[in-house]
Amino acid sequence: MPPTTDLGARGERIAVAHLTDAGLRVLDRNWRCREGELDLVARDGDALVFCEVKTRRGTGYGHPVEAVTPAKRRRIRVLAQRWLAAHDEHAPVVRFDVVGVLVHPDRPAVVTHLRGAFS
């Protein structure tokens, strides 16, 4: 696996652990369709959460959460619509979260979870 793919997979594992520890129930991981991929879909009480995970080794190019650009947000909204059309899940609230993971070789990862990061 290339280093960036390995880093991304590690970040997603860390994000899943963080979210489940926070009480969310992960419904889907790395769901794909023609338009792209959703990193995580979870349930948080009555809310259905579409979560983008960004992982970096440092902040030289900005914090990981900054990598979720307006174009990426638009794509995630489209993917969420596709996911909802393909699954029998209903929720009164749909939320879009971003989880940023900073991994360090000599200390624990730092996780930033932005609930409702965009609409």
pLDDT tens for the chain, 119 residues: list them.
567 789 999 999 999 999 999 999 999 999 999 999 999 999 999 999 999 999 999 999 999 999 999 999 999 999 999 999 999 999 999 999 999 999 988 999 999 999 999 98
Domain count, the chain: 1
Q: Phi first, then psi: what are they for 16, rounded to 5°? A: -60, -45
State the CATH number of the domain containing residue 103.
Answer: 3.40.1350.10
Residues facing 100 on adjacent strands? 54, 112
* β-strands 47-56, 93-104 pairing: parallel
Q: Are 39 and 30 in contact (CB under 8 A)?
A: yes
Helix H or strand E segment including 90? none
Range of the domain at 58: 3-118
Considering the entire predicted model, what is its pTM? 0.93
- The CA distance from 85 to 33, in Å, is 12
